[in-house]
Chains A and B, each alone.
Chain A
């Protein structure tokens, strides 16, 4: 069954700690995205990747880093530089980066600060 798998579902971070959120897709999609969702704020783009070995900053990239070494994987690291990391993180993918492609979302990871 094709789809996007995000793990873990819940994650707790200590002060000064980096944490990595996993996103894997078996849809053979070229483009992948990371969004942050806060109550009342909609979806804000953190990073996106149009193709393997390529990625670009979105609107709120500060304090985050990504890699795209494999087509199916797009992990997001929340670094200690991100001072307000508590949020719901959503990974998405689309066939290509073209604007007329719908995005498919994973179930999300909820990150909290201890």
Chain B
């Protein structure tokens, strides 16, 4: 069945360093969504990418959707302690339920 793989599982950075998490699907996706879950909290929707090669920015966060619509990345520039949490990608083929990756847990030391 369809799978959404996410790497790395864990990442520790010093405050001010950059961070990237990658998401790969075994099949072409109709769209991809990104969520952030703070420690002890629930996932919160960040953004959705729909078009092949799409790039979107939210302040220090840059999201990309691959040309083949099978992979995506989230890049954070100059991490801050407020970026701590687990970042999930979620994708699907049209008409199916979202499949979530296992997430990348980011820790930041000041």
Chain A interface (Cβ < 8 Å from any Cβ of B): 33, 35, 40-45, 48, 58, 90, 92, 97, 99-100, 102-108
Contact = CB atoms under 8 A, between A and B. Distances in A.
B31 interface: yes
Contacts of B94: 99
B48 A48 contact: no
Interface string B2-40: 000010010000000000000000000011010100000
Given A33-B97, A41-B102, A99 B45 contact: no
B102 A99 contact: no
Nearest to A56: B97
Contact of A100 (B30, B101, B102): B30
Given A90-B42, A100-B31, A102-B45, A42 B98 contact: no
A100 B90 CA distance: 11
B42 A99 contact: no
B24 to A, nearest CB: 14
A107 B101 CA distance: 20
Contacts of B9: 40
Contacts of A42: 6, 88, 100-103
B70 to A, nearest CB: 15
Contact of B31 (A41, A99, A103, A107): A99
Contacts of A44: 100
Contacts of B42: 90, 105-108
Contact of A43 (B41, B44, B48, B88): B88
A47 B106 CA distance: 29
13 contacts: A35-B100, A40-B9, A41-B102, A43-B90, A45-B97, A45-B99, A99-B31, A99-B93, A99-B94, A99-B96, A103-B45, A106-B42, A108-B42
A102 B33 contact: yes
A107 B88 CA distance: 17
A104 B97 contact: no
A97 to B, nearest CB: 8
Contacts of B45: 102-104
